[in-house]
Structure 1
Amino acid sequence: MDPQEREAPPGEKPEPVQTHLRNVTIVPQMIRSVIREYNGQTFNPVEIKPEMIGHCLAEFSISYKPVKHGRPGIGAIHSSRFIPLKRVHGGKFKGHPMSLCFYQNSHES
């Protein structure tokens, strides 16, 4: 990219350059330029600033959708293994883990 070709009049942004190269290291000659970086679906505009020198372009255009964890579904075996499935002491267990401790301690005396 030749800086003289992409210069814009004062107060305007230069014409963006489109690229698929996400592993390009940002150098000082790229400051104040606009690059449209491909993230796998769309071209995201990235304006190069002095703080970005030395970083890769991929760091400024996320290529995945962040995970939003919801409630466990039907197949959630991992989370349901902490819920007791059997009745304790003839069905007198109330369902709360602390009630089991109080029930056992009350019959020890």
Structure 2
Amino acid sequence: MRTLTEQEVAARLGCSTSKIKRWRRAGALPYIPGRPVLIDEADLDACLESMKCRPTSYVVSTPGTLKAGSISSGAKAAGLSEKAQARLTKARRKRISRSGS
């Protein structure tokens, strides 16, 4: 088990020690209390993994056209209502048509 101080974690991530303290106090980053406060490297890795953004899964088959069903299937997986799926599909098609012209 390798442990890091708040300053070492902040330096590794390129952020402030205040941000690390906020994560700790919010319960997002487990720590070992004391002076100095220590953070297990495995806990830091798990925390960062849980904060990662995941890409959406809709596919553009050719420039300017959408593959049938690709947007709605992602929306269904996200648990959106049919009305919300329709609004999302319309907005994405509008965005694609603007970028193509």
The reply to whether TM is greater than 0.5 is no
Give the structure-2-normalised TM-score.
Answer: 0.21
Greater percentage in strand: 1
- Which structure has more RCO (C-alpha within 8 Å, separation ≥ 6)? 2
Q: Which TM-score applies when normalising by structure 1?
A: 0.20
Q: Which of structures 1 and 2 has the bigger CA Rg?
A: 1
